[in-house]
Amino acid sequence: MAKLHSKLIWVILITLLLFVGYLYWMPGQKTETRRAGTAVAVSTATVQTMPMIRSVNALGTGISNQSITLVSPTSDFVTELNVREGKAVKNGEVIARLNDIEERARVTELQGILEDNKRQLARLKNLATTQATAQSLLDEQQTKVNTTLAQLDIAKAQLAEMTIMAPFDGYLGLRQVSEGAYLNAGTVITTLDDLNTLRVAFSVAEHYLADIAVGMPLTVTNAAYGTAAFSGKISAVDTRLDPVTRTVTVHGALPNTDLKLRPGMLLNVTLELDKRQALQISEKALVPQQQKQFVYKVDAQSKVSQVEVTIGQRIPGWVEILTGLEEGDEVVVEGIQKLRSGVSINRVGG
């Protein structure tokens, strides 16, 4: 009876061992079956050589290429006003005139005095040739001529101040006075802005200072025009950095013949630091392992193998490949978590 009981125990133990072995063996068989017979659905892409653009983004403010506020240089009445808001004016065009009757009269008076003094000087010079006049009288008359000339120059300058002209081509702003009004010195008449070229001022971290140079391309966008981009170039880089923010101020110049951009606008600036051709893949294809990067490369039999790659510059969505792949190689970009080397794939999606 004891022998029968002992045999029964051994039968139970052997049965348990066989069952445990079966549990471990079946998942492996299923995995091998899947590897051998069922292809994993993934998305793939080819390695391409494309432009690798490294850029920096910043917020900028639009400023006029040239901008002034036209003010009254003296106190008097406005006798002529040629201000129409938004009007394009040329260099030298009359914007306003002040009452200049006294100034014109003063110029005419001094011109008459000057002519008389010059005649007196010429007469004395003729007399001096016959020694009929003293040299002191000749010198005194020459002084009168010189003094009158200086007074005439001052009078002409005062007369010129009564006419306010555009110092450069541009567009007039809002009119602040009316014709016939009495203006005090310094009263604002209007503004003048050169809008055909708009400058954009923005700040860049000192980290990028060595990469920035005059003439580099940039683009700007503004909320008023959605995704429409306006292209320009760097026109100047400040010689000093802000000691608090550690940034440098950069100015860009943007052609603006259609006048879409205006001074004071908030502009989103993209500054292109570098542009070159580089071998690239989607960032989604990378499989990081410790300090290394791998991808799953697809062979001619639609099987994958894990390949180590060396990466370079990164831009949003893309990464440069320095070693490990060649142009035209096919790599897996989606479904990576289901893969191991040697697994067959089924391409789906794009």
Q: Residue 260's domain is classified under what CATH number?
A: 2.40.30.170
144 lies in a domain?
yes
Confidence at residue 243, expressed as pLDDT on a 0 to 100 scale: 92
Distance CA 325, CA 344 (A): 20
For residue 143, give the CATH number of its domain.
1.10.287
Same domain, residue pair 269 and 199: yes
Q: How far is CA 184 from the centre of its chain?
A: 41
Cβ–Cβ < 8 Å for 193, 171:
yes
156 and 201 housed in the same domain: no
Q: Given phi > 0 = left and psi -120 to 50 = alpha, else beta, which region is 114?
A: alpha
Question: Is there a domain that residue 232 lies in?
Answer: yes
Q: What is the largest CA-CA distance in the chain?
A: 174
Q: Specify burial of residue 47 (Cβ count, 10 A radius: 0-12, 13-18, 19+).
A: buried
Question: Is residue 250 a part of any domain in this protein?
Answer: yes
Q: Are 188 and 107 spatial neighbours (Cβ–Cβ below 8 Å)? A: no
Structure-token pair, residue 345? 């794939």
148 shares a domain with 214? no
- Residue 71's SS3 state is strand
Residue 180 falls within a domain, yes or no? no
pLDDT score, position 23: 62
Looking at residue 130, what is its pLDDT?
64
> Is 235 within a domain?
yes
Task: Indicate if 199 and 258 belong to the same structural domain.
Answer: yes
Q: What is the Cα–Cα distance from 171 to 118, expressed in whole angstroms?
A: 46
Our count of domains for the chain comes to: 2
Domain boundary residue among 232, 253, 277? 277
In this predicted structure, what is the pLDDT of residue 6?
A: 66
- Give yes or no: residues 60 and 205 share one domain: yes
Taking alpha carbons only, the member of 190, 191, 179, 186 closest to residue 77 is 179
Tokens linked to 185: 């010195």
Residuewise pLDDT in 10s, the chain (350 residues): 555 556 667 667 777 777 666 566 555 544 444 444 577 888 899 898 988 877 889 999 999 989 999 999 999 999 999 989 889 999 999 999 999 999 999 999 999 998 988 888 888 777 766 665 667 777 888 888 899 999 999 999 989 999 999 999 999 999 999 999 999 999 999 999 999 999 999 999 998 888 899 999 999 999 999 989 999 999 999 999 999 999 999 999 999 988 999 999 999 999 988 778 889 998 889 999 988 999 999 998 889 899 999 998 888 888 989 999 999 999 999 888 888 888 888 888 65
* Residue 28 is assigned to a structural domain of this protein: no
Report pLDDT for 350. Answer: 58
Which of these three, 277, 303, 331, is where a domain ends?
Answer: 277
The answer to whether residue 234 sits within a structural domain is yes
pLDDT of residue 133: 62
End residue of a domain, out of 277, 309, 341: 277
User: In this structure, is residue 122 part of a structural domain?
Assistant: yes
Q: Is 292 helix (H, G, I), strand (E, B) or coil?
A: strand
Coil, helix or strand at residue 109: helix
Q: Which pLDDT score, from 0 to 100, does residue 35 have?
A: 47
Same domain for 60 and 209?
yes
Find the domain containing 131 and state its range.
100-161
Q: Mark whether 198 and 267 lie in a shared domain.
A: yes
